């Protein structure tokens, strides 16, 4: 049986997620209680929000923007029950015939500088790894094998983007960070079922129109980028947002010209 992705709730995310490596190096799997915040407890705490809204967060640890979004997960509306879904960013780019920001030299530098600036504005610890882009395939598969544990996801993000480490060149150190044996972790990431799971996640994301990471999906709408948190929260409050006014008209705009490709 393939592992089921973990779910987290932003109500507790501010206190528990993201979890830095120095806060928790435990290799145990979080309980269901750690993955979700029980609705009855929310009510006892006086939270007027009673509706639980299912959402999915698509990510690849290669993306610094995914790390920056992860660190702000607690800013999302507490009604959201979020499923963490690892995908392969390269697979999205290939399908949509796009290039990643690190594949265009001037955009690459701009990306890194913008992330450094944004992290400083939000007081998020941030350090670039020595090489980027790196190949995140083994790491993404490992997170699938670990049932997409929020603790492990946070530790991997911290290893790369807080500590500034290279998960490929420092595989053994990453595994030590996660309290895993490197050989065991490699076997887990090489499991055919795990490989298929990550590939299926990516294919399903493409089928839903997801073209980049991080992407938060709720109510059949996609919110891409680490700067989409306020927009997603507004959509939670106004489910008819995309059916009114200029938002509705945006989906009706015609194409005036197509760029020549040859």
pLDDT digits (tens, 9 = 90+) for 38-79: 333 333 344 554 589 999 999 999 999 999 999 999 999 999
Specify the range with the lowest mean pLDDT, choosing from 1-5, 57-61, 101-105: 1-5
- Distance, in Å, from the CA atom of 93 to the CA atom of 193, rounded to the nearest integer, reads 23
Taking residues 100-128, report their average pLDDT.
97
Q: Would you state the structure tokens that stand for residue 80, as one six-digit string?
A: 């959201």
pLDDT of residue 19: 32
Taking residues 161-181, report their average pLDDT.
98
Output the CA angle 84-89-90, nearest 5 degrees: 155
pLDDT of residue 30: 35
pLDDT of residue 48: 52
pLDDT of residue 43: 35
Higher pLDDT among residues 45 and 140, named by residue = 140
Note the pLDDT tens digit of each residue in 236-248. 999 999 999 999 9
Taking residues 205-219, report their average pLDDT.
98
Higher pLDDT among residues 3 and 180, named by residue = 180
Sorted by sequence, the CB contacts under 8 Å of residue 122 that are 6+ apart come out as: 68, 71, 72
pLDDT of residue 45: 41
- Distance, in Å, from the CA atom of 83 to the CA atom of 23, rounded to the nearest integer, reads 22
Domains, the chain: 7-250 (3.40.30.10)
pLDDT of residue 6: 67
Place 36 in a pLDDT band, splitting at 50, 70 and 90. Answer: very low
Q: Would you state the structure tokens that stand for residue 253, as one six-digit string?
A: 């705009």
pLDDT of residue 262: 67
Sorted by sequence, the CB contacts under 8 Å of residue 88 that are 6+ apart come out as: 60, 136, 137, 140, 198, 199, 202
pLDDT of residue 8: 73
Q: Would you state the structure tokens that stand for residue 243, as one six-digit string?
A: 């059916």
Closest listed residue to residue 156, CA positions, set 37, 170, 132, 184? 170
pLDDT of residue 85: 98
Q: pTM (2 decimals)?
A: 0.84
């Amino acid at each position: 049986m393939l592992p089921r992705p973990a779910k987290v709730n932003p109500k507790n995310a501010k206190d528990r997620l993201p979890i830095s490596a120095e806060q928790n190096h435990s290799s145990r799997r979080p309980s269901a209680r750690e993955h979700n915040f029980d609705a009855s407890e929310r009510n006892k705490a006086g939270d007027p929000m009673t509706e639980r809204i299912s959402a999915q967060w698509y990510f690849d640890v290669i993306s610094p923007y995914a790390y920056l979004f992860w660190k702000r997960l607690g800013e999302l509306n507490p009604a959201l029950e979020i499923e963490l879904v690892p995908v392969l960013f390269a697979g999205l780019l290939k399908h949509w015939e796009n290039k990643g920001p690190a594949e265009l030299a001037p955009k690459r530098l701009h990306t890194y500088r913008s992330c450094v600036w944004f992290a400083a504005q939000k007081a998020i610890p941030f350090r670039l790894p020595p090489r980027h882009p790196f190949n995140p395939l083994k790491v993404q598969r490992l997170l699938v094998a670990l049932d997409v544990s929020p603790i492990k996801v946070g530790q991997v993000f911290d290893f790369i983007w807080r500590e500034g480490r290279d998960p490929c060149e420092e595989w053994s150190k990453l595994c030590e960070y996660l309290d895993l044996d490197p050989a065991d972790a490699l076997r887990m990431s090489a499991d055919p079922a795990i490989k298929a799971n990550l590939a299926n996640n990516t294919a399903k994301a493409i089928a839903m129109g997801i073209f980049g990471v991080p992407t938060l999906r709720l109510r059949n709408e996609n919110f891409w980028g680490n700067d989409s948190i306020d927009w997603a929260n507004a959509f939670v409050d106004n489910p008819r947002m995309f059916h009114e006014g200029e938002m509705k008209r945006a989906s009706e705009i015609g194409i005036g010209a197509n760029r020549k490709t040859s």
